[in-house]
Chains A and B, each alone.
Chain A
Amino acid sequence: EVQLSESGGGLVQPGGSLRLSCAASGFTFSNYAMSWVRQAPGKGLEWVSGISGSGSSTNYADSVEGRFTISRDNSKNTLYLQMNSLRAEDTAVYYCTKQEGYGAVDYWGQGTLVTVSS
């Protein structure tokens, strides 16, 4: 059974940093691209960042480019999102997702809430 479990969310002040982790199990982690998708309170889904199975290729939404860094450790079956220079508008539930094919997300984690506020 595929399981994705996020951790690392919480309350952080504007300008601060946070690192999210996602522990994956139930599939061959290194064979699949992964991504982070967020959802601000009461709002829609927003793709944040994606990474290839090997980790050699990464992409970012314009809204987080230069502030967030996605990475993965295939030996630990873990996905990461390093978030720096956080802003109030980054407040959201962040979902770790497994990609199938081109863009489709076939599994989602339960999400972790990041709140940026003073």
Chain B
Amino acid sequence: QSALTQPASVSGSPGQSITISCTGISSDVGGYNYVSWYQQYPGKAPKLMIYDVSDRPSGVSNRFSGSKSGNTASLTISGLQAEDEADYYCSSYTSSSTVFGGGTKLTVL
């Protein structure tokens, strides 16, 4: 049950695109198309942004997109906005649990 690997921080300017990676192993990210991404503001509960690798829940902006290749999943945010500044977490289903990434702090410059 080791945590998925995410970069500690990423940054970008308004209007730019950024990508956050999430690396696991064949028994989690690589083995299932069940990767989710969450956005969390300080002091608030996380919010689901992407599920099943690339699906967006109703109400989530289409500026958020997800993909996966092998053992690495990615979250891309296009047209970066100030309100996107937050912590982002990936997670993956496994046969016996759910595993989260360590989190990535996104700074909008």
Contact = CB atoms under 8 A, between A and B. Distances in A.
A32 B23 CA distance: 28
Contacts of A46: 100
B60 to A, nearest CB: 11
B64 interface: no
Contacts of B57: 106
B3 interface: yes
Interface residues of B, number: 26
Nearest to A109: B45
A27 interface: no
B49 to A, nearest CB: 10
B97 interface: yes
A45 B96 contact: no
A35 B51 CA distance: 16
A47 B97 contact: yes
Contacts of A1: none
Contact of A104 (B34, B45, B101, B103): B34
Interface centre among B51, B97, B98 (most CB of A within 10 A): B98
B34 A95 contact: no
B48 A105 contact: yes
Nearest to B36: A104
A61 B91 CA distance: 14
Contacts of B98: 35, 47, 50, 103
List 4 A-B pairs, minimum CB-CB distance, nearest first: A103-B93, A104-B51, A108-B45, A44-B103
Given A45-B89, A104-B34, A104-B91, 19 more contacts: A35-B98, A44-B101, A44-B103, A45-B40, A47-B91, A47-B98, A50-B97, A60-B97, A61-B97, A95-B46, A102-B52, A102-B93, A104-B36, A104-B48, A105-B38, A105-B46, A106-B57, A108-B45, A109-B45
